A and B are shown apart, each in its own frame.
Chain A
Amino acid sequence: MIKDWVLEDLTVDQKLEPMMKPPITKVQLAQYAGASGDFNPLHLDDGFAQKIGMDGVIAHGMLIMGFLGEYVMKVAGKKARVANFKMRFGKMTVPGDEIRCSGVVRRTYEEDGKRWIALDLTAEKVSGEVVGSGSAILQRT
């Protein structure tokens, strides 16, 4: 899906090939709840979610960050370590949503004798609604 990037060839403002995730499923939310320890019924119980005014369950925000994390690790490949990774949560996501992860090279630089790449990251729905925006800093080896 994602090729092995040649990290030294990345240039500022370069858009990275996006990654499409398959639609979010309720089973996935149950799996994520179990693995993360976040059993908030808002993510698992439609009845509960409807009682507080939602149409049904919503996905864990951290699952979306997990998608972006998957993407960052694919960009980093074998030749870099991730030093910093952050995300701001945007619109909510629900089962059935397909999330597209994309990135842009913000900066490449040397500091403390090491080579760094700063990326801007976006997770969005097919409709273009942003569900997470973030950044990561990679350290090249």
Chain B
Amino acid sequence: MNESIPPKEERMAALSGLGTSRKRVEDARFTQGKGNYVDDMKMPGMLFGDFVRSPYAHARIKSINTEAALSLPGVHAVLTAADLEPLGLHWMPTLAGDKQMVLADGKVLFQGQEVAYVVADDRYVADDGIQAVMVEYEELPVLVDPFKAELNDAPVLREDIADQSEGAHGPRRHPNHIFTWESGDRAATESVLSEAEVMAEEMVYYHRTHPCPLETCGCVASMDKVNGKLTVWGTFQAPHAVRTVASLISGIAEHNIRIVSPDIGGGFGNKVGVYPGYICAIVASIVTGVPVKWVEDRMDNLMATAFARDYWMQGKISATKEGKITGLWCHTTADHGAFDACADPTKFPAGFMNICTGSYDIPTAYLAVDGIYTNKAPGGVAYRCSFRVTEAAYFIERMIEVLAIKLGMDAADLRAKNFIRKDQFPYQSALGWEYDSGDYHTSWNKALAAVDYQGLRAEQAERLAAFGRGETRKLIGIGLSHFTEIVGAGPVKNCDILGLGMFDSCEIRIHPTGSAIARLGTISQGQGHATTFAQILASEIGIPAEDITLEEGDTDTAPYGLGTYGSRSTPVAGAATAMAGRKIRAKAQMIAAYLLEVHDNDVEWDVDRFSVKGAPERFKTMKEIAFASYNQAIPGVEPGLEAVSYYDPPNMTYPFGAYVCVMEIDVDTGTTEIRQFYALDDCGTRINPMIIEGQVHGGLTEALAIALGQEIAYDDQGNVTTGTLMDFFMPTAWETPNYQTDFTETPSPHHPIGAKGVGESPNVGGVPAFSNAVHDAFKSFGLTQSHMPHDHWRIWKIANSLGLHD
């Protein structure tokens, strides 16, 4: 044997490929303050644009006077809807098939709505200009309660479409009604429910909240009138889609638009949509001939761009006396705000809410969702979840608890009794999805054993007894959750956004000396793509991850893709990366065979090289092959070593997990302490365990925030009462616990490397675990359902209403 070949394990380790906790390549610049976020950009002559925003939730605009503002030194322009109208840009299409005002056209429909755009020397002067714009409003009756939207005396919000009985998603029955979306068999479900031995019914509200990434939304638009090219740098989770949309609505040819996402300071769904700020910056740059920056402040961000959730889910669940679930029914009232700007695939106006049968084998189910207009901000984005999946998971995981109470069964046993069994995969759900793979009993048993579930229940019972004796004022809540996600949108046959199929892409070039660059259609916002996608590739093409540069986010160089949200990067772009790598390898095999003077089929892949079958000492490494591809004339083989793959996934992926939260609750103060949180995630093949763990920690903390306090709240006049970080709950290191993470590994059968995606699982599974813990603590006092967020005040009220302060 040739002793110069290092052992296989050593060569694999040198690649830092799949399964390695590779340190992140992004960190050197981020830790030194050398990231390049959009607000870091400075260009010669650059101006700053900012909005005059509506103080009212519903009002007619009688006049806008911009004279005083325009007379201020340093104010260059003030745009209103009247200025945008000749360009056809005073309204813009939304991702949900509706349209949205870019600048208020005759009326305002939510507090914080964009009314006029002031362009000035810098952000200070822009603010002076904003103060000087005089807007005269006539207040109109405000609609904040979606259940009052269709009453006779309800104000009509959208006068522009009031007489349209057909919307983008079918018939509308009222001017404030957007759509009805149905899934499943209504008649069969209602018949199962009416004959059920046991039926539980509950209204489950998942409140309005906001992704609130630490960096707000913003952009710099630069129209170069010399070469006719528009460049926009911005906080875009889907840069390619933004380019296409920008071209369609502006009329600028798509090849003359370049969209660049620089480093993004967190997205969580906030940066998927197209906002008036982007459009106005573009127009302002065209008008002024210089680059224009727009960066929203935190209040703008919380009030105007991209709320999440706000689903009122009326549920019914039926079972046999023994606890076998027979049917599930859900009617959701979805508060979409003033414009339907939900970020969902076109054919799914309520996203994938119909994954609401969860981890359970429920034979019959029905779901209907009614979208409603109110005087609130538009949005409806997937805040760290796939489209409406967190709502679905919260719904079913609450309904299971409610049913367990009705049955007098332990909720852990009820889950185990109804899980889809391992041998049922691929599993057809009653609401139309094909779950790819799962092993729920294994994950569940592992989780319950890890936390000593029986021991916890015994301790809880002892605590209750002590509470009854007046020895303590603290209760223990044990929050369970077994969630199933649906991510990786998605197959082009049923998933598109504005007609753009939701495939994704990867393009690889191998350099002569054996290093490489790969470009993807996605864009990292902290997920560490530059680290992990290089790992996928390292394992596929035998080039060390550290020798592979990853680039995303520049539409002039990256291949077309639909971007990063909904945990789609690994399932879709990750698959494209593996497939492009395999194309590289296929060509490398021909080159190696030629160099080794054997037939193509007589060489075999060996970690980082091709060797002659049966003669491993005769080989060509990828490095050698790369160089040969540039300097050898090989008959029938083009020079160079490049590949591109556009991957259309055959199915979604279905990550799952089992979470347990142990919470101490003080009934007198309503304060909570997370004593233990165990999170088992199964995201299929694990690419980088360190990054997976980091994603889980972060997602759980966002779940904690949502469940225990974070909300976008309105008063009855439509004023946002949680518009700053003083009121909008963001957990600090002080109230965030240490989490215990664990895993099982059930690969996706249809993904090239078996990976499923993980970024959003902890948010999807975490919210029910935290919320169920609160409910569980008060269960023995008669609590069945109490709406989130469970802040101290609301928990105190639960205790008070149950007579625990008497």
Q: Do A and B bind each other?
A: no
Which residues of A does B touch, CB under 8 Å? none
